[in-house]
Amino acid sequence: MLNIILCGAPGSGKGTQSEFIVANYGLEHLSTGDLLRHEIASQSPLGQKVDSIISKGQLVPDDIMMELIGNYIDNLPATAKGVIFDGFPRTVNQAEQLDLLLEHKHQEAHVIDLFVEEDELIERLLNRGKTSGRADDNLETIQKRLEVFHQQTKPVCAYYSEKGKYHAVEGMGTIEDISHRINDIIAAL
Ligand code: AMP
């Protein structure tokens, strides 16, 4: 099994690069943001609970996220070659719990961190906001999401780095160049 965690700030290209990794390696793609937006769109009890949290650019509580992830992992098809985790884990607590879940299945995950400069992130997200229809792609919420990223998600990189499972990738340049850089790392795993 090949489990990859794409860790990078909002707007760093996690979704775009996940699509390439899925195409190249046949992994299952889990975007926790997409999963939560689906819950909101279907107005499920969970969706109603997380709607305002996401609109404010805050993180959904870890216990809710871990229930979602646990269900997802338990229901993976037997033929799954691995998972690309896009937007998860976003806290060290989530990372520790994911590791436990994977250990029980004799698996592990490696982190690929897409590094993009802050000005570029904001520009990309504002551009995306023109068409995405996402409640959180506006300047005020983008700034909040970046603050949350630095405070709560950046420490996840250090956590995996200490375990020797952290790989930084320059996330600036063309989509194809970045995809090649990611492929080089995955090929070496
Ligand atoms: P994304 O599409 O990955 O940018 O996620 C959009 C929003 O969904 C985030 O700003 C959070 O509010 C929420 N979210 C997604 N993944 C997580 C996670 N792993 N932990 C907590 N909140 C999350």
Tens-binned pLDDT, residue by residue, of the chain (189 aa): 999 999 999 999 999 999 999 999 999 999 999 999 999 999 999 999 999 999 999 999 999 999 999 999 999 999 999 999 999 999 999 999 999 999 999 999 999 999 999 999 999 999 999 999 999 999 999 999 999 999 999 999 999 999 999 999 999 999 999 999 999 999 999
pLDDT score of 27 = 97
Q: Distance from the CA of 3 to the center of ligand 1, in angstroms?
A: 19
Q: Distance from the CA of 78 to the center of ligand 1, in angstroms?
A: 27
- The rounded distance, in Å, linking the Cα atoms of 23 and 47 is 29
Strands 3-8 and 166-170: unpaired
Beta sheet of 166-170, edge-to-edge order: 28-31, 83-86, 3-8, 109-115, 166-170
pTM of model > 0.85: yes
* Alpha carbon separation from 71 to 29, 56, 61 (Å, rounded): 15, 26, 16
* Alpha carbon separation from 107 to 37, 51, 83, 104, 129 (Å, rounded): 28, 33, 11, 7, 37
pLDDT score of 88 = 98
pLDDT score of 112 = 98
pLDDT score of 16 = 96
114 contacts: CB under 8 Å, gap ≥ 6: 6, 7, 8, 9, 12, 13, 14, 17, 169, 171, 178
Q: Distance from the CA of 59 to the center of ligand 1, in angstroms?
A: 6
pLDDT score of 30 = 97
- The rounded distance, in Å, linking the Cα atoms of 103 and 15 is 26
Mutate to test the pocket of ligand 1, among 59, 67, 93, 145 (most ligand atoms within 8 A of CB): 59
pLDDT score of 120 = 97
